[in-house]
A and B are shown apart, each in its own frame.
Chain A
């Protein structure tokens, strides 16, 4: 076992994270720097691959958990804390959820002022009332106004009593329609008592109970900063990662869920290495605002020389009046209209000062648009190519079967196609984001190294991509070449990402915007 892999192994064993924010230094906390004494959600169910290669600068430590692991871990914490506080599990669960699973703070607070803590969590007025419905003489339900004798009624410790039917309706509304679980309050007005799980067990039908427990597990993950659900559709796993929000400008925490989905732990968007979340957010916003229309605008419009509003000339003469700022100008030379004197409607002037200034300003704005389009087109192209590559990937399987029969190769021998196609996908994803990243980079020596790396990866990717176009009959002969190209692609990607991540971590990149205000 190498030192590095042991390190990674050990960090998998520690890292409850999240509880002791105050104790950590302000340095970037990658996974291995966690030193909480709390064991992680690890039950030995997840065997770490302890022989894995040493970590790359852009990789982070993380663990993946299924719903049962999460449930188990919740239960374990509830038992532990319940034993310390001397509270039954239902109440402990409510207290822990109220404290957002910060148990140190909960225990401390409880030791100092137990009544306050109970009251705030909606558990005030201790004293055991068994969870059961009962018939009360002369009862009128405040919700449905029912007053039949023999009506089953229910109240929690707060004493707000309603008929069992209304209680049921209320709970099912909260659970089914509003997706609430951990913080459902008593139906009484202004009563903050939380409906505990015993009450639920008593009143709610079985199918709703499952939903309730699912929602509870959900809130557990939602409550914890170091846990996130995998955003892939229908994925049931949650991922634990110790990277904090404040570190996101210095690392791009990309994790791989057990379902195979790569995503960024910081923003839960798809893998966007090497671009930090803040830039991704800015870029996506910009693209949303600009890209669809930018091309058209660039070809068909000019900007008002005074207020820069974009203007389309859809007919008429050259005497333009900006609808926004009422500036009057000539469409041809962009100069102020008043300077046109008597040569109205026929612009034969060129070098008037106001006109050339306006054209300068406009050229600048064109230039900035062109710069954006340069990066955007490449970004969009890789996105598009990745989709096309994906189509090929789907055909790959067929190719693999064909190849097996035509060349007599075994299944295992044709796996290189699958590997190559996956590498292609991943590299395109990375390349795509390098363009968004580059758009925000200020020009310096580092940028040039970055662009070289980008170019190398791009060439490697296109070379590999090209091979997929070859007819199946030639593929067998190209196997070694293809495997070489695949591993070269992967290598170029690692080099690019490592270099970018190192510089990001050290704060060496200079951006043309302020990343901290993004």
Chain B
């Protein structure tokens, strides 16, 4: 399978070394991994919190982007951010078909999300959060995000 060799290599690498604030929580198969991320600076929105991300890989990974969501069960919270919905969906262009590049990997995605949190100062959800989260039972890959802006 196309994805397995690549994921095998990624797995070897992330078990070996990861950037600060990012760690593997669970990577037992080649379909779903869980990663923990922390925001390292003193951003009051995320201080002392660990967030858990779930990665779903299709057989076409890395040609297709993985599906990445924040966990909201198991005692984990979904970080507050204008591009993160309260159901854990993340509106980030690099996770969409248009913005994804097969050169991206689990580590780089975690770093992007980490820096997306680090740079944020707004204590708010996306404007359409309530409606979107209550109604949306689709999988992230079937949602067409409209990327609100590029500066957060």
Contact = CB atoms under 8 A, between A and B. Distances in A.
Nearest to A142: B103
Given A187-B102, A190-B101, A145 B9 contact: yes
A144 interface: yes
Interface in B1-46: 2, 5-6, 8-10
Contacts, number: 41
A273 B25 CA distance: 63
A170 B5 contact: no
B6 A144 contact: yes
Nearest to A185: B101
Interface in A133-174: 142-146, 160, 162, 166, 169-170, 173
A143 B6 CA distance: 7
A145 B6 contact: yes
Interface string B94-105: 000100011110
B5 A189 contact: no
Contacts of B63: 143, 166, 169-170, 173
Nearest to A166: B102
Nearest to B104: A189
Contact of A188 (B62, B97, B101): B101
Contacts of A188: 101, 103
Interface string A216-239: 000000000000000000000000
A178 B97 contact: yes
A146 B102 CA distance: 14
Given A143-B62, A145-B9, A178-B97, A169 B2 contact: yes
B47 interface: no
Interface in B58-84: 60, 62-64
**Interface size classification for chain A:** 10 to 19
Contact of B2 (A142, A144, A187, A191): A144
Nearest to A190: B101
B101 to A, nearest CB: 4
B103 A189 contact: yes
Nearest to A144: B6
A143 B108 CA distance: 13
A188 B123 CA distance: 34
Contacts of A144: 2, 5-6, 62
A178 B102 CA distance: 15
A205 to B, nearest CB: 16
Contacts of A190: 101
A375 to B, nearest CB: 32
B110 to A, nearest CB: 15
Contacts of A166: 63, 102
Interface string A89-120: 00000000000000000000000000000000
Contacts of B104: 189
A187 B5 contact: no
Contact of A187 (B8, B64, B101, B108): B101
Contacts of B2: 144, 169
A146 B103 contact: no
A189 B8 CA distance: 21
Contacts of B60: 169, 173
A189 B65 CA distance: 12
Contact of B103 (A169, A173, A178, A187): A187
Contacts of B101: 187-191
20 contacts: A143-B63, A143-B102, A143-B103, A144-B2, A144-B5, A145-B5, A146-B5, A160-B103, A166-B63, A169-B2, A169-B60, A169-B63, A170-B63, A170-B102, A173-B63, A178-B97, A187-B101, A189-B103, A189-B108, A191-B101
6 smallest beta-carbon distances between A and B, as pairs: A145-B9, A189-B101, A143-B102, A189-B103, A173-B63, A142-B103
Given A142-B102, A162-B102, 15 more contacts: A142-B103, A143-B6, A143-B63, A143-B102, A144-B5, A144-B6, A144-B62, A145-B6, A145-B8, A160-B103, A173-B63, A187-B103, A188-B101, A189-B101, A189-B104
